[in-house]
Chains A and B, each alone.
Chain A
Amino acid sequence: KQEVTQIPAALSVPEGENLVLNCSFTDSAIYNLQWFRQDPGKGLTSLLLIQSSQREQTSGRLNASLDKSSGRSTLYIAASQPGDSATYLCAGRISSGSARQLTFGSGTQLTVLP
């Protein structure tokens, strides 16, 4: 069974800093991995979807990487801003199974201090 882990559970950084959020998964037969942002009391907003055939995916100040062999994905946030404060969740799909359902990590709560 695929397990997805995100460490640390919480992170606090000063504004302007570049930062990396980590996501590890146990099943290297991963089909793709999706990063989400969740604001307090809100739903999930999809940030990036990275396929197993890709190594990186970029959107604005965000860059996600995927390394199947090491079982890791990272989300890089450049020049962080207070508005980036939120919980970031990663979720992976394994290749087997008819529906390739998402398995979520517990998230990293990011606080960017002004």
Chain B
Amino acid sequence: NAGVTQTPKFQVLKTGQSMTLQCAQDMNHNSMYWYRQDPGMGLRLIYYSASEGTTDKGEVPNGYNVSRLNKREFSLRLESAAPSQTSVYFCASSEHTGGYEQYFGPGTRLTVT
């Protein structure tokens, strides 16, 4: 099992450009999540999907959109990138939301100039 995979690993964007971060899991999990990690701030939840067909905002959703493409895949889109979105982005999954253990992907390091 690959677990949670993310593409790309690294990306540099100019301000105003758009891009989509891809995430897939092979653990048959129902719930998936997108986090960002900034120095000194811990991880913060951007969006999550409790189950296929549903998405909900997390703590810092502004400037992002998500799509739960199917049970395996959950993508994060930046429509018009800003320097404040420079961060490391992690995707995670769990069997369900609530108290279940979350498993994380390797991350995407994004720089917006």
Contacts and interface: CB of A to CB of B under 8 A. Distances in A.
Interface of A: 4, 31-32, 34, 36, 41-46, 49, 51, 89, 91, 93, 98-102, 104-107
A46 B42 contact: no
A37 to B, nearest CB: 11
13 contacts: A34-B101, A42-B106, A43-B4, A43-B104, A44-B90, A51-B99, A99-B50, A99-B56, A102-B43, A102-B45, A104-B44, A105-B42, A106-B40
Given A42-B106, A43-B105, A49-B101, A4 B56 contact: no
A15 B59 CA distance: 39
Interface residues of B, number: 25
- Per CB-CB distance, the 5 closest pairs between chain A and chain B, nearest first, are A104-B42, A44-B104, A99-B97, A43-B104, A104-B43
B48 A34 contact: no
Contacts of B42: 4, 89, 104-107
A34 B102 CA distance: 9
B64 interface: no
B43 A89 contact: yes
Nearest to A46: B101
B98 interface: yes
Contacts of A89: 42-43
